Structure 1
Amino acid sequence: MTLTATAPIVQMVRFAMVGAVNTGTYYVCYLLLLKELPYLAAHILAFCLAMVGSFFLNAYFTYRIRPTWRKFLLFPLTNAANFVITTFGVYALVDLAHFSSTWAPLAAAVAAIPITFVVSRTIMLRPDNRQASESLGESVAQTTPTA
């Protein structure tokens, strides 16, 4: 097996590792927010916060690419299916099946993993055009005043 043939497998393993960290991040945020917000509001806000961390972990660790503004702005598309599946899953588990709102998000997240990987890989490995390929780091460096 060549390196290019194993790349998707290695990326899938890394994606799963990032997913575990991201799920933990999401779940801690969700539990903290659940103390002050209704469960769906806590879910949505925790999901958005965890998605930002997921972008950077996937860029640097999973796909070994530099994060660009274009990919950052497209990255939420990788979570669209995840968001729909988990949000419907949380709702169905809590309101319809009377499952605990504490555990429902973890159960709902499992079904979304394969779809999220395929969409993530497609967007993250897509070549950027020249104008949109400026990295997030380059953008910050250009706006920071020098002494």
Structure 2
Amino acid sequence: MSKAIASDKGERIGRWLRFFIGGVLNTGLSYAVYLLLRTIFAYQTAYAIAYIVGIVFGYLFNARLVFNVEWSWKGFWAYPLVYFLQYIGSAVLLGLFIERLAVSEVIAPMVVSAVMVPVTYAMSRWVLSWTRHRG
């Protein structure tokens, strides 16, 4: 194996690892914001604000630390598309697993999350690289 191939493989593994760490941090941050805001607002309002905080954190973390893309307003405004598509895909899969495949409502979200992580990674990479090339 050449050094270039090994280096590229190591870089891809590093990106995946950073993406995973960012996801864990994002989940923890969003949950903490939700819990804090739930003491002030109704749970749906708290969740909506926490979700937005998660999108902003996800963009900032993934653009700079995972995909090495400069922050831009175009990227900032395009990035929520990833979360929107992730939600739609997750909702469809969740319904499929629970309604059609009779997977437990407790287990199905974990399966959906496992399926969606690589999809979300690919969508994030695409959106951020697209915005990099379009300034």
> What amino acid is the match of 1:128?
H
Maintained 8 Å contact 1:59/1:66: yes
Tell whether 2:69 aligns with 1:43.
Answer: no
Alpha-carbon distance change, 79 to 5 in structure 1, aligned in 2, over 3 angstroms: same
* TM-score normalized by the length of structure 2: 0.69
- Structure 1 stretches lacking a partner, 5+ long: 90-96, 100-105, 134-147
Q: CA deviation at 1:6?
A: 4.2
What amino acid is the match of 1:27? Y
- Amino acid corresponding to residue 113 of structure 2 in structure 1: V
Q: Which residue does the alignment assign to 1:138?
A: none
Separation in structure 2 between the aligned mates of residue 83 and residue 68 of structure 1, nearest angstrom: 24
Per-residue deviation, 1:47: 0.6
> Quick one: percent identity of the two aligned structures?
24
1:16-31 matches, within 5 Å, as: 16-31=20-35
In structure 2, give the amino acid aligned to 1:110. Answer: S
Alignment CA distance shift 1:114-1:39 (3 Å): farther
Q: Amino acid of the residue matched to residue 124 of structure 1?
A: L
**Residue ranges of structure 2 left out of the alignment (5+ in a row):** 95-104
Counterpart of 2:69, as a letter, is: I
Matched, 1:125 2:129: yes
Q: Is the 8 A contact 1:26 1:47 kept in 2?
A: yes
Alpha-carbon spacing, 1:8–1:110, altered in 2? closer, same or farther (3 Å)? same
Query: Which string of whole-angstrom CA distances, capped at 9 and with x for unpartnered residues, describes residues 19-63 of structure 1?
Result: 111111100011112223333322211010121122111111111
Shift of 1:7: 3.5
Partner of 1:140: none
Cα 1:116–1:51 change in 2 (3 A) is same
Contact 1:70 1:128 in 2 (8 A): no
Q: If the length of structure 1 is used for normalisation, what is the TM-score?
A: 0.64
Q: How many residues end up aligned between the 2 structures?
A: 116
Structure with a larger share of its residues in helix: 2
Instruction: Give the equivalent residue in structure 2 for 1:2.
Output: 6
